[in-house]
């Protein structure tokens, strides 16, 4: 795959080239501060070049036999499999992901590439009846044309591919802007793999830049018809506003404040395992992470004791070490924010059952309980290794607490009764709920997305087709119509 420096460029119209901006994005290893590479930022002019290249090449790609299009993604799966260790090392170095996290991300990335193979053949049209004699109504599924994709730093390889591969498979072209903290794993690495898999030049363009350089040029450009954004609800609100003002469709996969509910009849040991994974996978930098662990008082003491004991065993440190579970946060501002959040919560009355120290970007786990009902930490997306345990009296209070958030992405409920779990799950205002499992899960064909501030629209399976194609009605009159004048 080459070193980071080999991928420290823009990828526009099938060519690797430097950006023409006046400053560089410096790509650092968040654990040890090592400089991985520097990339001169792209300008608004280069965004225009990328979108125009995509627009120019897309019609021929859309006209390509879908059986031919799918071969690209079959080859891409093989490339990822062959270079899995290399990609793992890149994930560890660029975003501080542990080996455990990298394996999780790569497994899902391969699954979504395999889904793209099948998706190329699934844009089906329909023939509908008409009340008019002799009329035939055909409804065609056609690519939207060009899709703009903006991906985040936490699962950059997966979450870039998750929109890029389906959009391409369905006959679109794409301009991808990765997060500036993960320009390689989330951007140029994706481009290199698809280039080597045989994707024709110009269909995927990668722009490494920053809003300070280009403003809203990526969103306002007249070429893209759909913007697929994954990130915070604050930025997502802006993306939606700009997209709507330019008559673009926005697919928004945003943040969360998920609750994992432990009812009075739950298997406590199993619930502890699910909760620890759901809260601390990738240092809690996951939109589906269980920020709030809502526990019935009947099992609160047992659960809390076992939960804290298990969290104490989580090794924090160098993500290269296979034993490490907690690696660094993505940058110092995130680490400082998490440290301040714990301090404010304790100052506001919370009890720290475990209080992790902050060492540079490495934040050790904290477990808090006894938070006042108005504590800010209860309603925000934490995005760090801090667990909040909230005791409740019974099922109804658990539901009320779980719903007391502006977010609605994921959640879980643990109980001995599957149907009781389903009944509770249906009362929680989220896009996804899991009975007797963790809150962090994704599968290629299930509808993925949230309610409230957690996003607009769904991805995965048939929802990819909804997001990245449009319908066209073509009516055919066999014989002659009668007209009133």
Of 46, 115, 287, 381, the active-site residue reads 287
Cα gap 358→33, rounded to integer Å: 16
Three-class secondary structure of residue 438 per DSSP: coil
Contact 251, 227 (CB under 8 A): yes
Of 213, 253, 381, 395, the active-site residue reads 253
User: Residue 317 region, left (φ>0) first, then alpha (ψ -120 to 50), else beta?
Assistant: left
* Residue among 463, 110, 464, 30 at smallest CA distance from 285: 30
* Residue among 181, 188, 203 at smallest CA distance from 72: 203
Catalytic residue check, 253: yes
E strand residue ranges, 41-134: 126-128
Structure tokens at 83: 């270079």
Other beta carbons less than 10 A from residue 362's beta carbon = 23
Cα gap 460→445, rounded to integer Å: 5
Q: Point out which residues pair with 25 in neighbouring strands.
A: 39
- Cα–Cα–Cα angle for 320, 323, 327, nearest 5°? 55
Q: State CA 393 to chain mean position distance.
A: 34
E strand residue ranges, 276-398: 290-296, 351-354, 358-359, 362-363, 366-369, 386-392
Contact 254, 288 (CB under 8 A): no
Three-class secondary structure of residue 96 per DSSP: coil
Based on DSSP, count helices (H) and strands (E) in the chain, helices before strands.
15, 24
Q: State CA 147 to chain mean position distance.
A: 16
Q: State CA 405 to chain mean position distance.
A: 20
Other beta carbons less than 10 A from residue 126's beta carbon = 11
Residue 230's Cβ-count burial label (10 Å; 0-12, 13-18, 19+) is buried
Catalytic residue check, 34: no
What residues are labeled active site? Answer: 253, 287
């Amino acid at each position: 795959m080459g070193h980071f420096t080999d991928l420290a460029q823009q990828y526009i119209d099938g060519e690797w080239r430097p950006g023409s901006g006046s400053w560089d994005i410096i790509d650092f290893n968040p654990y040890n501060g090592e400089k991985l590479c520097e990339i001169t930022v792209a300008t608004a002019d280069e965004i225009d070049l990328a979108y125009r290249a995509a627009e120019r090449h897309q019609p021929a790609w859309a006209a390509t036999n879908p059986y031919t299009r799918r071969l690209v993604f079959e080859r891409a799966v093989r490339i990822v499999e062959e270079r899995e260790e290399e990609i793992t090392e890149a994930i560890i170095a660029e975003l501080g992901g542990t080996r455990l996290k990298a394996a999780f991300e790569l497994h899902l990335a391969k699954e979504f590439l395999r889904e793209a193979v099948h998706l190329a053949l699934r844009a089906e049209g329909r023939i509908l009846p008409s009340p008019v004699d002799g009329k035939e109504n055909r409804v065609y599924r056609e690519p939207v044309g060009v899709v703009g994709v903006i991906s985040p730093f936490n699962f950059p390889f997966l979450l870039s591919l998750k929109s890029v591969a389906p959009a391409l498979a369905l006959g679109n072209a794409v301009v991808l802007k990765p997060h500036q903290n993960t320009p390689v794993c989330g951007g140029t690495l994706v481009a290199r793999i698809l280039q080597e898999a045989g994707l024709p030049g110009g269909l995927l363009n990668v722009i490494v830049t920053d809003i300070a350089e280009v403003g809203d040029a990526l969103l306002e450009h007249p070429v893209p018809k759909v913007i697929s954004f994954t990130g915070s609800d604050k930025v997502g609100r802006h993306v939606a506003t700009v997209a709507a003002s330019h008559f673009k469709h926005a697919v928004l996969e945003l943040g969360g404040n998920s609750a994992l509910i432990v009812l009075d009849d739950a298997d406590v040991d199993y619930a502890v395992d699910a909760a620890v994974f759901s809260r601390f996978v990738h240092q809690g930098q996951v939109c589906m992470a269980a920020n709030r662990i809502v526990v019935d008082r009947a099992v609160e003491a047992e659960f809390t004791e076992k939960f804290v004991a298990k969290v104490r065993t989580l090794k924090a440190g160098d993500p290269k070490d296979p034993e490490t579970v907690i690696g660094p946060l993505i940058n110092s501002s995130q680490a400082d924010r998490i440290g301040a959040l714990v301090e404010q919560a304790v100052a506001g009355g919370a009890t720290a059952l475990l209080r992790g120290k902050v060492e540079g970007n490495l934040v050790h786990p904290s477990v808090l309980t006894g938070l006042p009902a108005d504590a800010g930490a209860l309603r925000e997306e934490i995005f760090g290794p801090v667990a909040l345990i909230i005791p409740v009296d019974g099922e109804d209070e658990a539901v009320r607490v779980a719903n007391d958030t502006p977010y609605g992405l994921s959640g879980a409920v643990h109980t001995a009764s599957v149907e009781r779990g389903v009944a509770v799950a249906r009362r929680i205002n989220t896009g996804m709920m899991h009975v007797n499992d963790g809150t962090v899960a994704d599968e290629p064909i299930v509808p993925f997305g949230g309610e409230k501030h957690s996003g607009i629209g769904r991805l995965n399976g048939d929802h990819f087709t909804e997001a990245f194609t449009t319908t066209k009605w073509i009516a055919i009159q066999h014989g002659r119509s009668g007209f009133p004048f």
